Structure 1
Amino acid sequence: MKDQTARANQGKFVNPHVTADGSPRASVALTHPETLWFNTGTLCNITCANCYIESSPKNDALVYLAASEVGTYLDQIESRGWPVREIGFTGGEPFMNPEIIQMLEAALSRGFEVLVLTNAMRPMMRKRVQAGLVALNTRYRGQMTLRVSLDHHTKALHEAERGAGSFGKTLQGMAWLRDQGIRMTVAGRTVWGETEAEARAGYAVFFAENNFNIDAQDHGETVLFPEMDSQVEVPEITTACWGILNKAPEDVMCASSRMVVKRKGAEQPTVLACTLLAYDPQFELGATLEEAEREVFLNHPHCAKFCVLGGASCSV
């Protein structure tokens, strides 16, 4: 992936402080930390055609976090006075982590809103996990949301990304969440040659047919992500771009969030600037939230295409 990015953007994204033409590179300060993400591990029950973090049944580059490690960072939120409202869990597939229910309860019991990104397939449908989710939803009604990855509202295109049989299994998981009254949203992709209006209309029909209480027109309930193609050339973001694009650093995801991961072989977790750049060492900010309070230079194609130009965010 890095080799493809380098070829597509030859000469760019080299110096963290200066772009290829010598202009000052844009940076983003952590101005309003609202979301702390935990990557529970890169292992996943499926291998998608274009997974931004290369999750698979074999990729354990990011190993399972422990519930005790999550608790440590929840303590740090309080000690640092971060105004966090939401704790996010992503992977891999979070429900493969054996301590995921304990992690969710640790966050919920402190009053945080909790968002879990899942494919809603077999790991979530194990009886132990189902029982845990039902219990948490009963105790912390309205605090927990599961965002289901449904790449397209049709079986054919969803399975083009996630493999044969995946659509039906995800639909089964969504139906179970619906029947349990567990709040559910959807994340799709915008790579299928249709307009956003067409995509949202398609999701609206799908939701209605399956009696899913999800608003296809609400960008927080039906999130449509731009593709992060490392082979496509993208512009660098300079300090002048804020005025040109009529945007502000505060609008970018790294102004409001950080992500905790644990690398294979590491003694302790580390904090990253972004949920999308788990393998790039320049976005590793330190082991603590205090260290992670420093500014982030937008020195990667994903910063430009996904966040600044695409206007996307992984949070609610």
Structure 2
Amino acid sequence: MTLLDVPARPPALAPGKFRDPRLTARGEPRAVVEPGPLRTLWVNTGTLCNIACVNCYIESSPRNDALVYPTAAEMAPFIAEAEALGATEVGFTGGEPFLNRQLPEMLADVLGRGMRALVLTNAMKPMRHHEARLLALRAAHGARLTLRVSLDHYGAELHDLERGEGSFAPAMSGLAWLAENGFAAHVAGRAGFGGEDEAALRAGYARLFAEHAIPIDAADPVALMLFPEMDASVDVPEITTACWSILHKRPDSMMCASSRMVVKRRGDAVPVVVACTLLPHDPQFEMGGTLAEAARPVALNHPHCAKFCVLGGASCSG
């Protein structure tokens, strides 16, 4: 897959939606999020992954290198700039971040500055390859390093339906290894997966964690994050300026008010900054070559802005 293969607009959307960054299809002023103080810098470590999920918003797979591996040297200036701007956390996402062999070096850079580091991982073989370096980082920096493990459901059958047959067992093994070795570990699941409501899902995860002696509080919305689906086949409403008061939401609570993500696209000489973790491909959300350049307003001109952030109320960071 190439960047040209990534559709700029999901085909299921009603005509005219998410076309104009200023106005909705109905001619109403589109909601815009002003930048606030930078809290979280995200680094996309590359779109390559050891598995291919059915509904991966970024189309990660063992063959997709549309976003290539950035090096630790390339990320160092962004991490330093984030620190200077007051950010307290750097998150690493992919793809599977541990396929990037320089991830431990990037983590050491972040943690050595006194910042927190968060890694979103499937906890499978690529993570286990780095066990010794992870143990050293945990010993030196403790709970400032958090690993969030993707478990789409508390049951193997539904998890494997999304992530591939046989994927649940190694993911659980990796999560258990993290727990046994005292890592700060969180879990990410899918809201409404299998038709269950949130209470039923959290109860199911609680049973799973208890069974495997994993010290995660399933009632904690940060320790167990349940993310809404980002299905491009479902039409979603556009967000207008009036929606903030109607939905009782605040623009400064949106992910793009306090975070940015750095990506390196295949064929590009240098990384660039994009508005958020969900929109690495759409050129309208490319913000510049530095975090300072990227500190400008973001028009909510994409279905993910509505479905995931405003209506779903989700955030990739805690």
State the TM-score, normalizing by the size of structure 1. Answer: 0.97
Structure 2 residue matching 1:293: 3-state secondary structure: coil
**1:84 equivalent among 82, 87, 104:** 87
Measured after TM superposition, the shift of residue 3 of structure 1 is: 7.0
CA RMSD of aligned residues (A): 1.1
Secondary structure of the corresponding residue to residue 143 of structure 2: coil
The offset of 1:7, in angstroms, is 3.3
Are 1:4 and 1:231, in contact at CA under 8 Å, matched by a contact in 2? no
State the secondary structure of the residue aligned to 2:294: helix
Residue of structure 1 equivalent to 2:127 = 124
The 1:28/1:195 distance shift into structure 2, 3 A limit, reads: same
Distance, in Å, in 2 between the alignment partners of 1:244 and 1:7 is: 25
Q: Which residue number corresponds to residue 240 of structure 1?
A: 242
1:195 paired with 2:188, answer no
**CA distance in 2: counterparts of 1:259 and 1:267, whole angstroms:** 17
One of 95, 100, 103 as aligned partner of 2:103: 100
Are positions 1:175 and 2:176 aligned together?
yes
- Give the Cα separation in 2 of the matches to 1:23 and 1:4: 20
User: Unaligned regions of 5+ residues in structure 2, if any?
Assistant: 1-5
Cα deviation, 1:208-234, whole Å, max 9, x if unaligned, reads 000001010000000000000011110
Q: Counterparts in 2 of 1:127-142, with a 5 A limit?
A: 129-142=130-143
Q: Distance in 2 between matches of 1:86 and 1:66?
A: 19
Query: What's the CA shift for 1:6?
Result: 3.3
Secondary structure of the structure 1 residue equivalent to 2:142: coil
Matched position secondary structure for 2:195: coil
Counterpart CA distance in 1 for 2:80 and 2:86 is 13
Q: Name the counterpart of 1:220.
A: 222
| Pair 1:5 & 2:4 matched | no
Distance change (3 Å), C-alpha of 1:211 and 1:303: same
Matched pairs, number: 312
Which 4+ runs in 1 deviate beyond 3 A? none
CA contact 1:259–1:271 (8 Å) conserved in 2: yes
Q: 2: distance between equivalents of 1:32 and 1:216?
A: 30
- 1:4 to partner: Cα distance: 6.7
| Residues in 2 aligned to 1:197 and 1:115: alpha-carbon distance in whole angstroms | 26
Report the 3-state secondary structure (helix = DSSP H, G, I; strand = E; otherwise coil) of the residue aligned with 1:291: coil
- Match in the other structure for 1:287: 289
1:296 to 295, 298, 309: 298
Q: Distance in 1 between matches of 2:272 and 2:98?
A: 21
Deviation at residue 113 of structure 1 after TM alignment: 0.6
Residue segments in structure 1 that go unaligned for 5+ positions in a row: none
Query: For residue 162 of structure 1, what is the aligned residue in structure 2?
Result: 163
- Deviation of 1:155 after TM superposition, in Å, equals 0.4
Conserved 8 A contact 2:117-2:145 = yes
